[in-house]
Amino acid sequence: MTDIAITINGTAWEGTVEPRLSLADLIRGELTLTGTHLGCEHGVCGACNVEVDGVPMRSCLMPAAAADGCAITTIEGQYGEMAERLRAAFTTHHALQCGFCTSGMMATALDILRRGLGRDEATIRRELAGNICRCTGYQGIVAAILHVAQETTP
Amino acid sequence: MKFPAFDYARPAGLDAALDLLAGEAAVLSGGQSLSPMMGFRVARPEKLVDISRLSALRGAALEPDGTLVIGAAVTHAMIEDGALPGPLGGFLARVAGGIAYRAIRNRGTIGGSLCQADPAADWPCVMSLLDAVLVLRRAGGERQVPVRAFLLGHLMTAIEPGELLTVIRIPPQPGARFGMAKSTRKLGEFAEGIAAACLTPGAARVTLGALEVPPATLAVDPALVTGPQPARLTSSPLYAAVDAALKAADATDPAGYRHHLAVLTGCRALIEAAQP
Ligand SMILES: Cc1cc2nc3c(=O)[nH]c(=O)nc-3n(C[C@H](O)[C@H](O)[C@H](O)COP(=O)(O)OP(=O)(O)OC[C@H]3O[C@@H](n4cnc5c(N)ncnc54)[C@H](O)[C@@H]3O)c2cc1C
Ligand code: FES
Ligand code: FES
């Protein structure tokens, strides 16, 4: 067992975890933040993406013990202006149907916007390649990111 | 897939890590290859030593003679974002940006990729092209191994139990221009064909990966690379030359699709290196 201390959506959390527990299972099980989803559990689908110290990572590939000392933000903690704009744009552009991919998509989309890569469609599609959506055909997701990028950059 | 049980340690310094590795323990770097392998039960380490935060392995520097030194735990994303100084930085940033997806690049490391030794991976191919030298440390010792002697085959390296890859050393490449080409079914997936090329005033060479053997580096007549190319690359003298060189290297089934793909990506990488 390993003692860890993390910040989850701005709140400090301390506990003891088995090393084999993934960050995803800590988030979903122990912390009951079930907005983070598990699709493939081997790094290919992106459903489990969360922010670790401000950048997206695969929570299924990371032992919770390795996140000791880190600040984690899940979909439940995504507020702030950019996230709010993105939520609204996801609604406007029908960027989700079943919602399974959405929390991971939001984590990636926010990162795309923060890195200033949301201004052209080809770049957005390239950067989204690590997030699989089985419903929307991606069109609405790309449109939502493009929309927020145009809204927020002069 | 859930991980099998293991013990976890994250030592604060390099020496402590080497001491732990001297006992029966495996290295955990970014975990972007090891975690899936543990999930699939292909790897079942009893104890993992997490080296991903060791500051001694997270830097990069240019030595006075132009040698580029990269810490093993530098992530693909750090390289993509320009962490490598010197003339190679731009090319290596492009290579890094083409690996997997950003969420994976944020954790996956250059050292982990080399030690994983997936024949289709980007760093084994590019580091072979650049004649990189790997510094392997163990408690109380160190040795330097050229990457081409380090990579032994599919997921096989010359690393020994207790050893840690600490640093990658790339010799200066004066006047060189570089190119890279990949063929993937889906963007960000491991390549089916991968090649990196280097063009200097008197010479051209190309390294082909995604073979059943370690990346193969072939010399090509530079005159074939710089001239105009026909619309159908497969009917070019360049294609014929790379094809012949790969056949001579005896690394593929010459009648197979993979052979064709290797030659084709090799040509594309060489042509890109020749672009002004
Ligand atoms: C969906 C997906 C797509 C991917 N696509 C690509 C791709 O297109 N191209 C590509 O190149 N890679 C790709 N990868 C792999 C990725 O680049 C990994 O980051 C990399 O292969 C391993 O680096 P790591 O730091 O995560 O190593 P880990 O997974 O932590 O370790 C890998 C192996 O190396 C050993 N090891 C690690 N560091 C050291 C060290 N310093 N000394 C000694 N041993 C060490 C470990 O014990 C383990 O055996 C992909 C991965 C995923 C999950
Ligand atoms: S569940 Fe983590 S990438 Fe699919
Ligand atoms: S909305 Fe259903 S998978 Fe994307």
- Give pLDDT tens digits for B112-121: 999 999 999 9
Fold equal for B7-50 and B177-274: no
- Say how many residues make up chain A: 154
Local confidence band at B274 (pLDDT 50, 70, 90 cut-offs): very high
Local confidence band at B252 (pLDDT 50, 70, 90 cut-offs): confident
Question: Å from B118 to nearest chain A CA?
Answer: 16
* Backbone torsions φ then ψ of A22, nearest 5 degrees: -80, 160
Starting from the edge strand earliest in sequence, which strands make up the sheet with B141-146, in order? B60-62, B68-71, B164-170, B133-138, B141-146
Give the residues across from A51 on adjacent strands: A56, A73
Task: Say yes or no for a CB contact (<8 Å) between A19 and B188.
Answer: no
Choose the closest CB to B8 out of A19, A22, A41. A19
Span B122-143, average pLDDT: 97
Task: Say yes or no for a CB contact (<8 Å) between A61 and B2.
Answer: no
> Distance, CA A10 to ligand 2 centroid (Å)?
24
The reply to whether A7 touches chain B by the CB within 8 Å rule is no
Residue linked to tokens 């989803």: A37
Task: Say yes or no for a CB contact (<8 Å) between A41 and B77.
Answer: no
Q: Is the pLDDT of residue B88 over 60?
A: yes
Q: Is the pLDDT of residue B258 over 70?
A: yes
CATH code at B55-170: 3.30.465.10
Give the residues across from B159 on adjacent strands: none
Parse chain A into domains and list their residue ranges.
2-77, 81-151
Residue linked to tokens 């449109």: A143
Starting from the edge strand earliest in sequence, which strands make up the sheet with B26-28, in order? B7-9, B47-50, B26-28
Local confidence band at B276 (pLDDT 50, 70, 90 cut-offs): confident
Local confidence band at A45 (pLDDT 50, 70, 90 cut-offs): very high
Question: Å from A130 to nearest chain B CA?
Answer: 5
Q: Is the pLDDT of residue A154 over 60?
A: no
Parse chain B into domains and list their residue ranges.
7-50, 55-170, 177-274
The reply to whether A49 touches chain B by the CB within 8 Å rule is yes
* B201-227 tens-digit pLDDT: 899 999 999 998 899 999 999 999 988
Best mutation target, A20, A50, A53, A61, to test chain B (most B CBs within 10 A)? A61
The interface pTM score, or ipTM, of the predicted complex is 0.97
> Distance, CA A81 to ligand 3 centroid (Å)?
24
Architecture per CATH, B177-274: 2-Layer Sandwich (3.30)
Task: Say yes or no for a CB contact (<8 Å) between A57 and B39.
Answer: no
Q: Tokens representing B52?
A: 């991903």
Percent of chain B residues past pLDDT 90, beyond the cut: 93
CATH code at B7-50: 3.30.43.10
pLDDT value of residue A153:
66
B50: which chain A residues are within 8 Å (Cβ-Cβ)? Answer: 65-66
Local confidence band at A126 (pLDDT 50, 70, 90 cut-offs): very high
Average pLDDT of chain B to the nearest whole number: 96
Span A87-111, average pLDDT: 98
The reply to whether B13 touches chain A by the CB within 8 Å rule is no
Q: How many inter-chain contacts (A to B, CB under 8 Å) are there? A: 90
Local confidence band at A32 (pLDDT 50, 70, 90 cut-offs): very high
The reply to whether B7 touches chain A by the CB within 8 Å rule is yes
* B12-63 tens-digit pLDDT: 999 999 999 998 899 999 999 999 999 999 999 999 999 999 999 999 999 9
Asked whether the beta carbons of A17 and B8 are under 8 A apart, the reply is no
Taking the C-alpha atoms of residue A82 and residue A113, their distance in angstroms, rounded to an integer, is 8
Distance of CA B188 to the CA centre of its chain: 15
Percent of chain A residues past pLDDT 70, beyond the cut: 99
Q: Tokens representing A32?
A: 């009951």
Q: Is the pLDDT of residue A84 over 80?
A: yes
Which runs of consecutive H residues, i.e. helices, occur in B130-179?
147-150
Taking the C-alpha atoms of residue B168 and residue A68, their distance in angstroms, rounded to an integer, is 28
DSSP characters over chain A: -EEEEEEETTEEEEEEE-TT-BHHHIIIIIS--TTS--SSSSSSS-TTEEEETTEEEEGGGSBGGGGTT-EEE-GGG--SHHHHHHHHHHHHTT--SS-TTHHHHHHHHHHHHHTT--SSHHHHHHHTTT---SSS-SHHHHHHHHHHHHHH--
The reply to whether B29 touches chain A by the CB within 8 Å rule is no
**Superfamily of domain A81-151, CATH level 4:** [2Fe-2S]-binding domain (1.10.150.120)
Residue linked to tokens 């089916």: B192
Taking the C-alpha atoms of residue A66 and residue B8, their distance in angstroms, rounded to an integer, is 9
Local confidence band at B250 (pLDDT 50, 70, 90 cut-offs): confident
Q: Is the pLDDT of residue A152 over 90?
A: no
CATH code at A2-77: 3.10.20.30
> Within 6 Å (CB) of ligand 2, which residues are found?
A 38-41, 43-48, 58, 60
Span B77-102, average pLDDT: 97
Give the residues across from B218 on adjacent strands: B206
Distance of CA B20 to the CA centre of its chain: 27
Span B232-241, average pLDDT: 95
> Distance, CA B35 to ligand 3 centroid (Å)?
25
Q: Which helix H or strand E contains B111, and what residues bound it?
A: helix B110-116
